[in-house]
Amino acid sequence: MTRQLPNILVHPFKAFRQPPWAFPAAIPSRIDPSLLVEEENSPYYEAAHFYPARIGETLNNRYQIATKLGHGSRSTVWLARDLQQFFRWRWSKERFVALKINSNNSHARKAAGGVELEILRHITRANRQHEGWHFVRKLIDSFSVQRVSGSYPCLVFEPLRESLGKYSQRWQDSVMPPEIFKIIVQEILQALDYLHSECHIIHTEATDLKPDNIMVARDKFEKPLPQKHCNDGRIIYLSRKNFGPLKDIIGLVEITDVDLAVQGDFPHDGCIQAEVYRAPEVILDRGYTYSADIWSLGVMVHLVSPILVQTTNSYMKLWDFLEGRTLFESVDPRAVENYDDETHLAYITSLLGPAPKDFISSGKRTSVFYTATGTLKTEELVPSNFSFENSLSKFDGAEKRRFINFVKRMIKWKPEERSTAKELLQDPWLYNDYPQI
């Protein structure tokens, strides 16, 4: 006769598993089914390819979906309870994660299940001793959800609170105090140095803010936002964008969204960065490397929607934080109807002077914008009064000069002349608010 072992010996880790919450009893308001909401507005949206997630369901027998955080062109992002915390006592705080569920079309499945996953694993493991390791997004777990409609790759991260753009709105006129922003810039530079020098990766996009305390109360689960119920049974949830006041002025920033990242040990061709924030070598298609990330930092800090991981694209630059407006405002799609490459090059010319001939000579698109002698075809587009000095109004004197010198190290025509992230970490502008020892 076989003696039956106690259940805890057969499944020892069940003692650490938390019971799922019961499905919320609250009845959310309904959205008109004829309206397009959330991911339905993406040009890549196809209902058949997006996983029909439901609040309250548990994925991979571990992650219970608590609320929707946002969406991307080929994914949705959810806050989920981790029911399986091996070393958590029952009276300690529950753990939440950000769960990115990718669509199952061929592009998204290949990216999430291949390149993105490989890069995330590399970033997570490369060198934990590097200071910048703390300021990049790390992968916690990955799995796939299998359904009749296909396989949906899922990526699990620590949840972040909000984007830098959302965070800046907490300050008067959405202008962050320089002494706070300098700390954030240092963290971003540490992260870029880690990606460049340790991981050998060009990011091409993104940072997000992570305050230290991001725990979300259960009432976010029990008080769901309005929903759209579709005729085929799908539910489109609205994303939750506000989790209450911050407990600390500043936390950590983390660089996120590596699905477009590439290896940086050799030049790459092609178009990266959002239009108005593109480095000149990208506009001219002459190849880019690590220094494209440095140009991006000089002109902007790339943000994502005001939720945890990448969703819709929105961007906030150094100038946005310190001036409340963009540097290249005259070509910003938020300020003008259409972005124009030649106008962008004209404003860069006004800022930096004429492009070096040896720089533009190797661009695949150079002939579109420049004459055979190396001048812009439409020289009248170059403004006469656009400069670093004229673009700054919120501070002056020595502080203004130090900031301009700092930015000029990043915004240069020639990629090889831009300072590296490691070099920029030594810049005096980052530390002049601190007492000298």
Note the pLDDT of residue 214: 42
For 289, the 3-state DSSP assignment is coil
User: Distance between CA atoms of 228 and 34, rounded to whole angstroms?
Assistant: 9
Note the pLDDT of residue 20: 82
User: Distance between CA atoms of 356 and 344, rounded to whole angstroms?
Assistant: 16
Question: Domains, the chain, ranges and CATH?
Answer: 17-240+247-327+391-430 (1.10.510.10)
Note the pLDDT of residue 302: 28
Note the pLDDT of residue 280: 94
For 109, the 3-state DSSP assignment is helix
Q: What is the pLDDT of residues 206-235, one digit of tens each?
A: 445 554 444 445 666 667 788 999 988 899
Task: Give the sign of the dihedral formed by CA 363, CA 367, CA 373, CA 374.
Answer: negative
Other beta carbons less than 10 A from residue 403's beta carbon: 21
User: What DSSP line would sit under 196-254, residue for residue?
Assistant: IIIS-EE--S--EEE-S-----THHHHSPPPEEE-TTS-EEEPPP------SSS--EEE
Closest CA to 333 of 382, 391, 276: 276
Chain CA centroid to CA 173, Å: 23
Pure H helices in 49-141: 106-110, 116-125
Note the pLDDT of residue 269: 82
User: What DSSP line would sit under 389-427, residue for residue?
Assistant: TTT--S--HHHHHHHHHHHHTT--SSGGGSPPHHHHTT-
Q: Cα torsion for 240, 301, 214, 425, to the nearest 10°?
A: 180
- 100 has which bridge partners? 77, 155
Query: pLDDT tens string for the chain (437 positions)?
Result: 455 555 545 455 555 577 887 776 778 889 999 999 999 888 888 888 999 999 999 999 999 999 998 888 888 999 999 998 654 555 457 788 999 999 887 665 555 556 788 889 999 999 999 999 998 888 999 999 998 888 899 999 988 877 776 777 777 766 677 777 788 889 989 999 999 999 998 887 644 555 444 444 566 666 778 899 998 889 998 888 777 666 666 667 777 777 777 777 777 887 777 777 789 999 999 999 999 989 988 886 322 222 222 223 333 344 445 544 556 656 655 556 677 889 899 989 999 999 999 999 999 999 999 999 999 999 988 988 888 887 776 666 888 888 889 989 999 999 999 999 999 999 998 887 654 43
Note the pLDDT of residue 199: 92
Note the pLDDT of residue 213: 40
Please work out, in degrees rounded to the nearest 5, the angle formed at the alpha carbon of residue 352 by the alpha carbons of 351 and 358: 145
Whether 310 contacts 256, CB under 8 Å:
yes
User: Distance between CA atoms of 80 and 157, rounded to whole angstroms?
Assistant: 10
User: Distance between CA atoms of 331 and 381, rounded to whole angstroms?
Assistant: 12
Closest CA to 51 of 74, 31, 81: 74
User: Distance between CA atoms of 229 and 250, rounded to whole angstroms?
Assistant: 39
